[in-house]
Structure 1
Amino acid sequence: MKHICLAALTCMMAAPVFAGPFEGLYQPAGMNWSCRVELIGADGGALAIRGDWLEGVESSCELTQPTPVRDMKAVLYDAVCSGEGMEYTARVMILSHDDGVYVIRRGYVSDWRFCH
């Protein structure tokens, strides 16, 4: 029994930490998009980070391999994304700021603001 408990504890400790610190509903800065949960991913609907998923307009990315960025409130992820019938991989950095997060990928920065 002691070995089973030790093995279970080891597995839990080795489990990756996903998007937890960024979890929430967002809308693009300067936009008046809906913040309703049922409209996540719809055109003009909420954007979300839930668990290990980043959800944008008609697209979603599974976030894996979280790597904290030293001296920043940021995490770099490998992402497997799908949207508009395509699947692709990307690197995504999420950086926290006072009003939400910056989502940085492929040379582009999106400013996502907390939904209130």
Structure 2
Amino acid sequence: MLNKIAYGALVAVFGMLIASEPTRAGSLDGKYRPAGEEYSGWDCKNIGSDGGALAIEGNVIFGVESACTLNNPVNVNGMNAVLYDAQCAGEGYEWSERVMLMETDRGVYNITDKFVAEWQRC
């Protein structure tokens, strides 16, 4: 049987391991549309089409006629956000970029170099 000190140390180490585990994109799974009055007509049904829905499913983000697979999640210290390496394809092109997803009260911020998109839940 573990003594109290050994048990306390074991619990502390286990707690740190859980706390350091990166949040996965899966916690943001769902359909979204861009925030703003001009996007109020987006149907939130047809994923990936112009005027349809944007989506996060597991480690994949579906944009308008594009999709990105999210790899190597890293929590951003002090923020409810995760930074990823994204492998993307769409409209005949392939590219790589860094993507940060940050949960908001209304949805998610999708942040890339020099660009922030606010997506609200459908």
Q: Structures share a fold, TM > 0.5?
A: yes
Letter in 1 for 2:109: Y
**Residues 23 and 75, structure 2, Cα contact 8 Å, conserved in 1:** no
Deviating 4+ runs (over 6 angstroms): none
Distance 2:80 2:106 in 1: 13
Q: Which aligned pairs between 1:69-80 and structure 2 lie closer than 5 A?
A: 69-80=76-87
What percentage of aligned pairs have identical amino acids?
52
Distance 2:114 2:29 in 1: 23
Out of 59, 64, 69, the position equivalent to 1:52 is 59
Tell me which residue corresponds to 2:74.
67
Residue 18 of structure 1 deviates from its aligned partner by: 3.2
Tell me which residue corresponds to 2:44.
35
Answer with 1 or 2: which has the greater Rg: 2
Structure 1, unaligned runs of 5 or more: 1-15
Find the residue that maps to 1:112 and give its secondary structure.
strand
The superposition leaves residues 29-86 of structure 1 with CA deviations (integer Å, 9 ceiling, x where unpaired) of 01121111xx100010000000110000000000000001111010000000001100
Distance 2:57 2:84 in 1: 14
Out of 67, 70, 89, the position equivalent to 2:96 is 89
Residue 106 of structure 1 deviates from its aligned partner by: 2.0
**Residues 18 and 63, structure 1, Cα contact 8 Å, conserved in 2:** no
Letter in 2 for 1:94: L
Distance 1:86 1:17 in 2: 29
Q: Normalization by structure 2: what TM-score?
A: 0.77
Distance 2:106 2:23 in 1: 23
Structure 2, unaligned runs of 5 or more: 1-21
Find the residue that maps to 2:52 and give its secondary structure.
coil
